[in-house]
Structure 1
Amino acid sequence: MTASPAKPTVPPTKPSPAMRVVHAVLRRGGVKRALSDVDLTERERRRNEAAGPAEPPRSVRASCTIRWTANEGLPVAVVAPKRTTSVTTPFLYLHGGAYINPIIAHHWRLIAALATENAWTVTVPLYTLAPHGDATDALTRLTALHQAIRQETGVAPALGGDSAGGGLALALAQRLRDQALPGPRHLALFSPWLDIGLENPDIPPVDRVDPTLAVPGLRHAGLLWANGRHPKDPAVSPLHGDHADLCPITVFIGTHDIFLPDCRKFTVKAKSSGTDVALYEFPGAFHVFIAGTVLPESRIARRLLTQRVAGDG
């Protein structure tokens, strides 16, 4: 008897009950208020800088080995699943935080989920944040790190990130191509911030339902990261770069995320350039929902990514 083929994984058509609950909790939180005012954004940035990057939670350390090293002067964590007998695939992950805030526990949990579910070895650089670092410095160091991973493993790593890290990952892929260097195998973008100017006229309607993000604080953070570069420079706003001759790209975004309009615009531009792009929109989902690893939507997104990356093998 022939087994029935598995049903393809598809995004849901409406928010799960868990998504609705978390969405409501986030709306009552203070993240959006802090980003609605530049002074509050700066106050939060200084507080987070003083606290420093979060340590990997106990659950992450239970499921993964974490080896700390350094590359180009950056602290780098190499996260690999403990329970696997297969050869792992390299994945270079760039965390979000509006380019001004350090890695948090939710990032580590997502990184661990990606590692354990796919037998991936995830390399996580703690790149220097604005205003102490900027796009020029980050892209130079991350280019060297990407090439070092490829040389060490002998294969092209996948590359990805969330929010600001997603924008940085796309900018890095464009930089590698422009320098005629070997690029990544796949690009995974989770709620990526693709244009620091946030001038898309379709943003205001989404802003009214986005529970966490606001334009004023993000623009301030983006200009700190640009450090004199024009806001439309592809190094800080890769939406305005050349999207041809890139690896396959998978984008995950919620419909209650102010980055949605630019993700849609990017997808159209990249496809018209001949690049393989899959955009998955999740109804009612908030910014970087995939980091809520227990949410049904997060699990679906991770399965979709697994299928997409496996298809490039």
Structure 2
Amino acid sequence: MYEIRPKLPDDVTVNGHMLYLHGGCYVVEFAPALYWPFLADLSVILRRTLTVPIYPLAPEHTYREVYTFLLGVYRRILADHDPKSVVLMGDSAGGGLALGLCHASRDAGLPQPSDAVLLSPWLHAGLPDPAVPAVAKVDPVLNLDFLHRAATCYAGGDPLDHPLISPATGPLSGLPTITVMTGTHDMLNPDARAFHRRAQTEGVDIHWYEVDRGIHGWVGFSPVGRDAEDALQYIHNVLAKPEPPPRPS
């Protein structure tokens, strides 16, 4: 477990806390060299302290152990922070976990965080959208066969459309404000789009930020310059509330 505190001027106060869940297809360990620059910037820009848990990974563990662990982490955070000041954020598999943890917390009777911010999220482990194979051909980061194998290990024999394995399938009532950041050259994008359509149909409060030709992980780990800067500013504006933010032009 890592705890991060932003280095801010003496006259600037911390806005709240964030639970950040790393990506890696549920099977890859947290990579400090990859994440530290991004998380440091994130902490300063959003003026939030961060908890970065090192959660159990497949194939040694399944989603069951992952959520047991994360619910424990979330309970400890709630013991020290008002839930209205807490944000869940994650990238890739961590983005799926962030939304899944909202489901698990609601079902456990715990208060929701103020927001769930999902970066290039893996929202359906089965990747069922018919557009996925075509996008996979232009995705320079992810491998479709590897994702299928990882999802099977993570599910531990349970159906891939289980709401804690594929949180896009879970009920959308009682969830916090959701923000999805995605790109059209990410093979997870078609299922994210399907989730967005469903959320809009059901009247769920959701912010959608899509970059044309954006690849998987573009918000934090791709050399896209202005796109990433604008995205972080957009997240800052979303979390500032109460006005819905305009997307940077």
- Matched with 2:4 is 79
Output the TM-score relative to the length of structure 2: 0.91
Which structure has the larger Rg? 1
Is 1:307 aligned to 2:237, yes or no?
Answer: yes
Map 1:168-179 onto structure 2 (within 5 A): 168-179=97-108
**Post-superposition CA distance 1:53-91 (Å, at most 9, x none):** xxxxxxxxxxxxxxxxxxxxxxx1011112244034100
Q: In structure 2, how many angstroms separate the alpha carbons of the residues matched to 1:266 and 1:167?
A: 12
Note if contact 1:213-1:258 (Cα within 8 Å) is conserved in structure 2. yes
Is 1:153 aligned to 2:78, yes or no?
Answer: no
- Matched with 1:120 is 48
- Matched with 1:101 is 28
Q: In structure 1, how many angstroms separate the alpha carbons of the residues matched to 2:153 and 2:235?
A: 32
C-alpha displacement at 1:175, in angstroms? 1.2
- SS of match in other structure, 1:180: coil
Q: In structure 2, how many angstroms separate the alpha carbons of the residues matched to 1:214 and 1:279?
A: 25
Q: In structure 2, how many angstroms separate the alpha carbons of the residues matched to 1:111 and 1:169?
A: 16
Note if contact 1:110-1:293 (Cα within 8 Å) is conserved in structure 2. no
Q: In structure 2, how many angstroms separate the alpha carbons of the residues matched to 1:210 and 1:108?
A: 24
Q: Which blocks of at least 5 consecutive residues in structure 1 are unaligned? A: 1-75
Note if contact 1:255-1:283 (Cα within 8 Å) is conserved in structure 2. yes
Q: In structure 2, how many angstroms separate the alpha carbons of the residues matched to 1:229 and 1:159?
A: 25
- SS of match in other structure, 2:40: helix
Note if contact 2:14-2:49 (Cα within 8 Å) is conserved in structure 1. no
- Count residues with an aligned counterpart: 238
Mark the CA change 1:154 to 1:245 in structure 2 (over 3 Å): closer, same or farther: closer
Map 1:1-313 onto structure 2 (within 5 A): 76-84=1-9, 85-104=12-31, 105-156=33-84, 157-292=86-221, 295-312=225-242
RMSD: 1.5
Q: In structure 1, how many angstroms separate the alpha carbons of the residues matched to 2:155 and 2:36?
A: 26
Output the TM-score relative to the length of structure 1: 0.73
**Post-superposition CA distance 1:242-282 (Å, at most 9, x none):** 11221111110011001111111111112222321111110
Q: Which amino acid aligns with 1:258?
A: M
C-alpha displacement at 1:186, in angstroms? 0.4
- Matched with 1:29 is none
Question: Identity percentage over the alignment?
Answer: 35
Mark the CA change 1:197 to 1:293 in structure 2 (over 3 Å): closer, same or farther: closer
- SS of match in other structure, 2:5: strand
- Matched with 2:247 is none
Q: Which blocks of at least 5 consecutive residues in structure 2 are unaligned? A: 244-249
Note if contact 1:169-1:187 (Cα within 8 Å) is conserved in structure 2. yes
Q: In structure 2, how many angstroms separate the alpha carbons of the residues matched to 1:189 and 1:80?
A: 21
Q: Which amino acid aligns with 1:306?
A: H
- SS of match in other structure, 1:255: strand
